[in-house]
Structures are given as C-alpha cells and as structure tokens.
C-alpha cells in the first residue's frame, strides 16, 4: 500500500494568522505564539547542548526537559479550555526534579561571588543562550493571562529551568576545566 505524503506547508498562515490547537485562529503576533515560539527556540538549543559530550545523567535530564518544554508549548497553544484539559501537564514533582539536579550540580561548584559572563567554551555559551531564551519565554508567559493550574505550573517550571541552565553552564565549565569569566566592575 502506497502512503500518501502530506505537504509541510498549508498556506493558511499567509495572511498573518495561525491556528491554535483546536482550530481557534489568532494573529501571529499573539503573546501565546511569542511564548511558544521562544520555547521552540529553547528546545532547539537544549538539543544542541545535548549533542555535546556531557555526562550521561545530564543528557538524560536534558531529554526529559525537551519533552517538558514541548508539553508547555502545547499548553500555551491550547485554543479552548477543553483542549487544555486534554493535554498532558506538569506537576510539582517535575519542578522538584529540576531543583534536585541544580542541587546535585551545585555540590561540585565553588561558591559564586561574582556575576558570571557567558563564554569560555561553546557548550558553556550555549547553556547561557538556553538560559536567556528561557527567561524570554518566562517574561512572555508572565504577560499572558495564565489562570489554569496547568499554565501556572508551566510558568513555575520555566522559572526554575532558567536557574537550571545557569548552574548547568557552571557545572559544564567545571567539568571541562574551563575558567569562569567574572564580571568585576571597574572602579
């Protein structure tokens, strides 16, 4: 039996609108699209970080994070309350897992006494890029009228995730023996 291939382009967005999950049409400038667009960008950078030679436990964690980011994107793309109810959500345990990973990595790091400038090694810089994209997604989500439990838990997860990427950058730098770049203000 021959499979029919679907085209990737639909042409339905040519006028500056797109569909949310469930068919509701919105402008492409809608905050939801800004938020889940940032999450899509973040997910791409998480994949890039995962492609480097890093410890297996971190690779597994990053894969789980990618699935959570995708779930959050779908939560933001839900066009109706019924659609939102049908989608997988995050739970407090997901946030706790991030906190445990942050604590695990922090155990191996010196106390931070200065602000840290990104750089020193490509993977360290990519972790910082992921952190800043995560913060942008969080700022956009914060401007949305999030009221449902799934949405609020997603916002909490994204807040903690940016902390995770900051500590991951430091942890990877330490693993590689890369010196951290400190910002020390000129006097």
Query: Measured between alpha carbons, how far is 167 from 104 in angstroms, rounded to an integer?
Result: 10
Give yes or no for a contact between 27 and 16, defined as CB atoms under 8 angstroms apart.
yes
Element (H, E) at 172: helix 149-176
**Domain residue extents for the chain:** 25-177
Q: Is the pTM of this model over 0.95?
A: no
CATH T-level assignment (fold) for domain 25-177: Hypothetical Protein Ta1238; Chain: A; (1.20.1200)
Q: Which residue has the tokens 């950078």?
A: 45
Task: Give residue-wise pLDDT tens across range 41-93.
Answer: 999 999 999 999 888 999 999 999 999 999 999 999 888 888 889 998 999 99
Give yes or no for a contact between 76 and 32, defined as CB atoms under 8 angstroms apart.
yes
Task: Give residue-wise pLDDT tens across range 2-35.
Answer: 777 877 777 666 677 677 677 777 667 788 889 9
Query: Measured between alpha carbons, how far is 164 from 96 in angstroms, rounded to an integer?
Result: 11
Give yes or no for a contact between 80 and 145, defined as CB atoms under 8 angstroms apart.
no
Give yes or no for a contact between 17 and 27, defined as CB atoms under 8 angstroms apart.
yes
Q: Which phi and psi (to 5°) does residue 17 adopt?
A: -120, 160
């Amino acid at each position: 039996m021959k499979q029919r291939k679907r085209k990737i382009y639909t042409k339905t967005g040519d006028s500056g609108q797109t569909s949310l999950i469930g068919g509701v049409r919105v402008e492409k400038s809608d905050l939801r699209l800004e938020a889940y667009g940032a999450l899509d960008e973040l997910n791409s950078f998480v994949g890039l970080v995962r492609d480097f030679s890093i410890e297996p436990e971190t690779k597994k964690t990053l894969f789980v994070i990618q699935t959570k980011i995708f779930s959050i994107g779908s939560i933001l793309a839900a066009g109706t309350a019924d659609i939102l109810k049908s989608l997988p959500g995050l739970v407090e345990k997901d946030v706790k897992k991030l906190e445990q990973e942050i604590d695990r990595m922090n155990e191996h790091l010196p106390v931070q006494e200065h602000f840290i400038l990104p750089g020193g090694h490509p993977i360290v810089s990519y972790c910082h890029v992921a952190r800043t994209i995560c913060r942008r997604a969080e700022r956009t989500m914060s401007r949305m009228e999030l009221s449902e439990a799934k949405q609020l838990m997603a916002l909490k997860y994204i807040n903690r995730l940016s902390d995770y990427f900051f500590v991951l950058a430091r942890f990877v730098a330490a693993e590689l023996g890369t010196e951290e770049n400190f910002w020390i203000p000129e006097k």
